[in-house]
Amino acid sequence: MPGSTSGFAMVGVGADAHGLPAGDPVRVRQLLQQAGFDYVLIDTPVDLTVPAVTYSAVLSDAAVVCMPPRRPAMQSAAALAAQLQLHATGGIRVLAAPTLRDVHQPWHGEARDSARRAFAKLLGGPSPGAAATPPVEIIEVPEQVYDTYDDVLAVLADEPDDETSLLAAYERMAEWISRGAVRHLATVPERIRRRYRRGVRLEPADSSDDIVVVYDSVDRPWADWIGGQLRRAGVRPQLRAVRRGRDPRLAPDATVLAVLSPDFADVVGTDLSGLEPGARRPAAEVVGVLVAGADWDDRLDPGHLVDLRDADAVRAQSLLLSCLGLIAPGQPAGDLRAVPRFPAEPDRRLRFNVPPRNPSFVGRDDYLERLRDHLLEDSRPVTLTGGAGVGKSELAREFAHRFAYDYDVVWWIPAQDRETVQAALGALADEINAVDSAGAAEAALEALAAPSGAYSRWLLIYDNADDEDVLTGLLPHAGAGHVLITSRDDGSSNLPSPLEVAAFTGDESVAMLRRVLGISTEDARSIAVALEHLPLALRLATAWMRESTKRLERSGVPSLEAVGRCVAELLARLRRNADEDPDERIPGSHTSSVARVLDITLDTLRHTEFGNLAIQLAELSAFLSPEGIGLPLLRSTPMLTQLAAAADADAEELLLNAGEIDLVLAVGARYALYDVDWGQGGALRMHRAIQVLLREGIPEPERRARHCQVLHGLAGYAPTDPEADDVRYADVFDELQRHLVPSGALESTDRVVRHWVVKQFRYLFVLNDSDVWASALQLARLACERWTRDDEFDQLTMRLFIQTANLHRALGHYQEALRLDDQVLSEQRKRYGLRHFRTLIAGRGRGGDLRGLGRFEDALVEDQATFKGFREVVGDDHPNTRMAVNNLAISFLLTGDSREALRLARLERDRRMLLFGPEDPRTWRVSCQVGTYEREVGEYERSLATLRETLARIHELQSAGHLDELRVNRSLAVTERRLGLTIPAKKRSTETFRGYREHLGEDHPLTRASLLSLAADYYRTGDAGYAVKHAMRCLRGYERQLESGHPFTAVCSVNLGLFQRGAGEFDQAVRDGERGLRSLRTRLGDAHPWTLAAMTAQAGHLAARGDLDDALRMQQEAHRSCLAYLGRRHPCTGDAEANLAAIRALRDGAEAPGVVALADSDIDVPQS
């Protein structure tokens, strides 16, 4: 009972076959009597056997027999009572407790009479000659029905003065059991009764509830958890953060839950009397909740303390609710994802990439509270807005660290451009294994939007999203997570739910400056006013004060005097700077207070050891990404060389001892020019406002030189051309990619820088990520436009065009890719001739363009020339020669010579295995081609084995959902279909189509080909209707995107006809089949395997429609051509032969039309 100090225990004992406690009942009775309990209540089995009745009678002093209000049940209860009296060795008191219906109803008297008649023989005492046995007594228990679905405790729910209530009956039973020692239960306080009734939903939750949770803002996680538990128990508490010197505005009758922690003590002290709202109302109370880290004295009544310091979530919930007379709901109410987590929950795998917490963060409690309130109540995105330097990003970072416990994923997303956002989301997809696509941004968003899963709670922070268009399509569209955006937007855009962040309050400014030991509040306030309370300016000032004070102390100046001198100097210099340039004093502008204190910092650094180098390093960093500069880049020889060039005389030791760069980094960090994260993946981060001021502060000629030095440092850090294809250099290219746009590299006319840019685009192409391709293509097209402004088409521009063509081709833009490649080839062949290495590179790309456009013969000619050229120029084993062999094999397949394709592919696989080994993914891409070609020549079992081995190796080398995996699965599904493994083939095709669609989009050629293959699986599993539907969808897409007469469109028409035949649409099958056949004959000729397969399919359509003579003539022609051009062992020949026999049987009447199986092999669109 709430407020009771009595103890109780639940004792479980072993049971025998009858459900009875193990051991002799007399011995068990003795043990219980010696245990020191006032009362022992025994819960017996419902269905008592004779041994159980005997055991219970011996063990007990009294028995309460309960029964429903039905005559047979009452008679059975009376018999049980008699048996208990019979077997009791020392006499037993028996109480009959029939449940009777409403005393106000007419049947109540009848039920009471039935109970008395059933127990009539026992009510008057023992029969003559029997042992002295007390008579049975009867206490009626009203059948109480509560208007709720929850189980209800009457002792907490019923009114205490109602003699007809269930509570009153329980009190009468307690009086009988205790022989009058207990007549009434302890009075439950009215506020506890109200809370309980709300908890079991007997009363509506009251918005003006009487529980207030007070806490320091740092302890908001605990306040949220406490509030969540109270709401689940039916109470609507108020959460109120306390502030030093502010009235918490508590209602006089409120019950106060104070979250006790060291931070709370700093605000209110250890004396909670100031929180006592009920000093004039004795019903009010203050309950202290001790949380992790709290160390409280004992001046509070122990009965009003709840100690959660060592409790787990379950125990903590029980302690909290029982103290307030509340119960936890029997069933979870609503979506538990909306209930804040237990802050002291053991560590779990949190996906977290937020920059390190700022140890100097102060204040901002009001913003953190408002932000948390909004996200919990609304869940719509919030945008922190405001000018430069007000601390938007710092606020977001602190929020992320403070509330990380409540999320499964907390992900920081630099949002200055779409490419950066997509890259960050792609990294998140990799982190959470979003397998629907290979690191695609959409995959991450889809995974977060899932209604259930391992990442149902998430927080995404889009930092520096000044352009709303950057976020279009890149925000989560569903899910139980939160989105926080920071932006300098002035309200002109449509970013969601803006919350403007202002400068510090006076107290917050003082708190930051007081981190300098010894500074007075008055001096701190003077500095804060001079710097307009701007957080970034105050941070710079605090760092300058701290370092300057230390310097004076090292020279022998006493600490307090050193502080005073620094304060005076800082204020004087701030005033002098303001007087010299009054236009700089623009409130809220990054060119006002930040500029003035930055000037002071730079001037001081020029006269300190390593200070000049720190300034030069900061100036170089000002041209790089504000989201971070990797320490390996800054420590690299190319970047140190440029730093040395910028610093002139200070550079010699730096070049001789590269480790000294860390001393330079440390100096700049101490003066707050930037932050340095020294941990794994360490980086330098500089505020954007400081970057702008540093750039603007460099005189124009020197600024251009510094910018050039940065670009040369980046270009020198870039790996070589061949290494752009090597996964071992991915980290280097990823670092460079971060700076590609911020550094202005795309605008540069420097050939060294442009060379790096070309390599960077090559790296982005080989990543095999459609999101990356799309973003890279936008930048590449921009670079192409800028590099050709002067009508100069030099070698680097041509190489840029080639990489741009690669991106177009990867995305299925074959016509545009061909236009670019032709433009380059035309110029290169004039300059260098047909066999030059550069010409051959462009020619290789042109072959791919022609294959994509369906010009297979032209592609074969181009690929043959490219292969011969590479072999002559660089030899058989050069990587470019090996790629040319692979391309040539594809062209042989597309032109109908699958055996030559297989021969070349096997040679290529074996050669690659020897040259590059089994760890090179390209080796297994070629192996996939081998398995495909094996199937095309009819070697189905060998194809199956090859592709299964290939898939296993791809799984070892690539991430789940990678394009390489999709490519192998696609081919493996076709082989399984050819072997009659229709169910696994259909499952594999379904997964592959979804993967391609997620990764490349609905309209990519590989996605469309995958859907057509899935349609064939539907056909094979007996669902021709779905097959027709999917094939028609593919046909419309091919007709829309490909030029007229493309072989892939024709193949789709042929397959559609096949599926229509299966659906009984014979006339339509003949029409669509004929259209596809005619197109294939025109484009590929009569001898191509696809043409011959289409002829066999068309003969089958004619036969199914009943045109047996026409069918026979067509099939005979197809069979002769197959023998002449493909040979007897080719799969097309086998199909033609089988179909010829079937049609002859139909024409001759040897078989009924429904019995003969016509050949029905589909044509697979290859992955070219």
Give the integer Cα–Cα distance in Å for 395 and 354. 12
Question: Would you place residue 589 in the very low, low, confident or very high pLDDT band (cuts 50, 70, 90)?
Answer: very low
* 959 contacts 439 by C-beta, under 8 angstroms: yes
> 295-309, 476-490, 570-584, 936-950: which has the minimum mean pLDDT?
295-309
DSSP state of 15: B
Token readout for 911 is 């050669």
- Side-chain half-sphere exposure of 855, counting CA atoms within 13 A: 15
**Residue among 385, 566, 402 nearest 462 (CA):** 385
Question: pLDDT band for position 21 (50/70/90)?
Answer: low
Beta strands 458-463 and 255-260 are: unpaired
- The residue to which tokens 């919030």 are assigned: 382
Q: Max Cα separation, the chain?
A: 133
Q: What angle do CA 568, 570, 574 make, to 5 degrees?
A: 120
Residue type, 295: D
* CA distances, 777 to each of 385, 424, 505, 1042 (Å): 31, 18, 47, 21
Confidence of residue 1076 (pLDDT cuts 50, 70, 90): very high
For residues 484 and 466, what is the distance between their CA atoms, to the nearest angstrom? 13
What count of other Cβ atoms lies within 10 Å of the Cβ of residue 852?
A: 22
Chain mean position to CA 950 = 30
Residue 29: Cβ within 10 Å count: 16
φ/ψ (deg, to 5) at 579: -70, -35
Q: Say what the pTM is.
A: 0.73
Nearest CA among 383, 608, 363 for reference residue 500: 383
What is the token pair recorded at 997?
Answer: 């669609």
Give the integer Cα–Cα distance in Å for 897 and 958.
Answer: 31
Q: How many helices (H) and strands (E) does the chain have?
A: 47, 18
Instruction: State residue 440's pLDDT score.
Output: 59
For 558-577, what is each residue's pLDDT tens digit?
989 999 999 999 999 998 87
Angle at 1056 between CA 1050 and CA 1062, to 5 degrees: 150
681 pLDDT more than 60: yes
Which amino acid, one-letter code, is at 323? C
| Residue 269 region by backbone torsions, left for phi larger than 0, else alpha for psi between -120 and 50, else beta | left
Instruction: Supply the pLDDT for residue 1128.
Output: 92
Confidence of residue 6 (pLDDT cuts 50, 70, 90): low
Do 873 and 837 form a contact (C-beta atoms < 8 A)? yes
pLDDT digit string, tens, across residues 647-660: 875 556 777 777 78
CA within 13 Å, CB half, 35: 15
Sequence-ordered list of residues with C-beta below 8 angstroms from that of 1074, at least 6 positions apart, any chain? 1057, 1098
Query: Do the Cβ atoms of 594 and 540 come closer than 8 Å?
Result: yes
Closest by CA to 414, choosing from 393, 394, 399, is 393
Distance CA 382, CA 499 (A): 7
What pLDDT, on a 0 to 100 scale, did the predictor assign at position 281?
A: 41
Judged by average pLDDT, the poorest of 71-85, 399-413, 602-616 is 71-85
Angle between helices 1047-1062 and 1024-1041 (to 10 degrees): 160
One-letter amino acid for residue 6 of the chain: S
The pLDDT of residue 297 is above 80? no
Q: Which two tokens stand for residue 80?
A: 């049980």
* pLDDT tens for each residue of 951-982: 999 988 887 778 889 999 999 999 999 999 99
Q: Where does 618-719 show beta strands of DSSP type E?
A: 629-630, 675-677, 683-685
Average model confidence (pLDDT) for the chain? 85
How much is the average pLDDT of 917-928? 90
Q: How far apart are CA 960 and CA 948, in angstroms?
A: 16
pLDDT band at 125 (very low <50, low <70, confident <90, very high): low
Neighbouring CB atoms inside 10 A of 369's CB total: 16
Digit-coded pLDDT (tens) for 886-922: 999 999 999 999 999 999 999 999 998 998 889 888 8
The reported pLDDT for the residue numbered 8 is: 56
SS3 content of the chain, % helix, strand, coil (to 5): 60, 5, 35
Q: What is the residue-wise DSSP string for 1048-1080?
A: HHHHHHHHHHHHHHHTT-HHHHHHHHHHHHHHH
Matching residue, tokens 């390996």: 632
